[in-house]
Amino acid sequence: MIKPTEPITILRTEAVVKRVSYTARHLLNLEKKGQFPKRRQLGPRRVGWVEAEIDAWLASREVGPAEPPFPVAGT
């Protein structure tokens, strides 16, 4: 959780898309399913995400080489 004495950094949509390598639409779908941090309404036409929440979400993701989606010939 964020300590009240630490400054909170808000990331705009473009920064979050670049950081997590998902489209904005996919982020919205994950958010609706409760699988991604919720955005904050910053103004009538502006939203953002708390950087610490995005970093925690990224850290919770499994890290390692991806398995090929199909068997590789010769193995």
> Mind listing the pLDDT tens digit for each residue in 9-67?
999 999 999 999 999 999 999 999 999 999 999 999 999 999 999 999 999 987 767 67
- Other C-beta atoms closer than 10 Å to the C-beta of 1 total 6
pTM of the complete model: 0.74
Residues linked to residue 46 through DSSP beta bridges, in sequence order: 43
